[in-house]
Amino acid sequence: MSLLCGIDASVGRSENRSAVFLRRLTGVKTLKPPLIKCTNTYLNELHHWISVTNEHKHKQQLKHEHIMHINRFNQSIMVIKATNSDISK
């Protein structure tokens, strides 16, 4: 959950800022154009879920769809790392 709180400041302000944040988060130094487009779209969608999640966090009541979305985000980060590794070979 602390990871999600950290994302909120960087998402939705600009594509460039989102891409920079994503590079920091994933440890990927160079994101290829298709990957940047995909991840920026995902970050825009994620922004809504972070807001909703933060609203419910103090109640410790995360709905099933919130948990599923968090899991999907974590999986996406793993995919980004794997994709970058494959591209750079």
Predicted structure pTM score: 0.32
Q: How is residue 9 written in tokens?
A: 């400041």
What count of residues does the chain have? 89
pLDDT for 11 equals 43
User: Rounded to whole angstroms, how far apart are CA atoms 79 and 60?
Assistant: 29
- pLDDT (tens digit per residue) in 8-43: 344 444 445 556 666 666 666 655 555 555 555 666
